[in-house]
Amino acid sequence: MEGPADGDLLARMTDAALGATSAAGATHASVRVERVRTQVVALRDGRLETALDDTEVGMGVEVVRSGSFGFAGSVALGVDPAAALALEAIRAARVTAPARRRPVLFAEEPPHGRVEWSSPFRRNPIDVPLADKVALLGEWSGQLMASAHVDHVSASVVAVQEDKYLADLSGTIALQRRVRIHPQVEVASVTEAGDFEDMRTLAPPVGRGWEYVEGDGWDVDGELARLPDLLGEKLRAPSVRAGTYDLVIDPTNLWLTIHESIGHATELDRAMGYEAAFAGTSFATPDGLGTLRYGSPLMHVVGDRTAEHGLATVAIDDQGVAAQSFDIVRDGILVGYQLDRPIAASGGFGHSNGCAFADSPLHVPIQRMANVSLQPAKGTGPSTEELVSGVDHGIYVVGDKSWSIDMQRMNFQFTGQRFYEIRGGRLTGQVRDVAYQATTTDFWRQMEAVGGTSTYLLGGAFNCGKGQPEQIAPVSHGCPSVLVRGVRVLNARQESGR
């Protein structure tokens, strides 16, 4: 498999870097060489607005020596730069030694030998010519702008190819390629009275190739054909009346609620107070492990770095740990955390569950989110329609939009792309301006029913932020449709003073 550099050069760089760290007395060391290519193509009303093709290449070396951590990164590749970088990382460990309060430890991990892995795709989107991308987005835009309901169209596709080489002192050598893609279209309408509404496609970002935009894995043509009429219906829809409602939440919306109220809350570095960037620490502290009732007994949440087409799916993480699946919440009880090797060791866990990632060869790997997913009901399970049929007065929520959550991951508010009023177990049409509020534990404890596998969808995002300096990670969240009773709903338009 093609890597971020020539195979023979990678081997010689590895020998130079790890040889220097070993000679300097490092108890842990790894060298990571990466090439990350990102393409963004965006059209506004059928005209090309953005065409970006960026490649980042570099190398990072991390070490633990005498209980102190050191890291150094560079864009220079080669045998001599690798050796020099290793010595720089050793010097960094020496410099930080007087400041540490306790030794830096890495949880044990067996060697995995040589591993070569690629995410599944048929046609690499990076290889698709720019002209073809512009033509397809232009075709989508023209189709939508022909509708009387649509005044403006934004169409884009983002594609990433991430080639990563990792070698460590234990003997693990991993060469991995991750390909991901996210097509997105947003339509907007403005009335003569100056009112406006917009609506976005629901196709999630995925670890797939160009075949995804051609209909493999998502009905792109069908969604685009429906979008103008859905927007028109939204413009005519009445504004929601604030109150308490039963919610049936589609996975296209629920994935983000999972991300914010479970995914970040169960990162052990946040739960232990070591990480507070990007919305704080977590209420789910280690003293509640095994006892905290996170949600209803139907709640089973898994962290999984092996999920097919998942954005956080790998074979080996950035600290040499094998990808795996693990329980976070089982039968509604908090039973696990997401861990990298240092946080696993400091938290008293025997092993990491493979949640280390760096978004650049120049950045230190930190604990990042796995594909954190709510499992569907066992067996066939109810359909979304069956969940709706059990609601007398409620709202069906589809698609994600804005969100807000407090510094402890406890109090939150979410909106969506579209909302349907439920009366007597039936959808009666769209309503507007819906925002739902809850505390994390109340919300998940009030989850009365979980949809079956037919409702399950892997959502996610390319741009999960964490750390200082900030790092961006891609992550997926799978979930079925769910029924949550007695949720507070606000009228977002009234709350904003419009």
Over the stretch 342-361, which tens digit does the pLDDT of each residue have? Answer: 999 999 999 999 999 999 99
Q: Picking from 184-193, 244-253, 344-353, which range would have the lowest pLDDT averaged per residue?
A: 184-193
What is the pLDDT, as a whole number, of residue 1? 66
Percent of the chain clearing pLDDT 90 (strictly above):
93
Output the pTM of the full model: 0.97
**Does pLDDT of 388 surpass 90?**
yes
What per-residue confidence (pLDDT) applies to 50? 97
Other beta carbons less than 10 A from residue 21's beta carbon: 30
For the cut 70, the answer to whether the pLDDT of residue 393 exceeds it is yes
Mean pLDDT of 399-404: 96
All structural domains of the chain: 7-236 (3.30.2290.10), 243-495 (no CATH)
Say what the pLDDT of residue 495 is.
Answer: 82
Question: Which tens digit of pLDDT belongs to each residue from 77-122?
Answer: 999 999 999 999 999 999 999 988 899 999 999 999 999 999 999 9
Q: What is the pLDDT of residue 100?
A: 85
Average pLDDT, the chain: 96
What's the confidence (pLDDT) of residue 498?
64
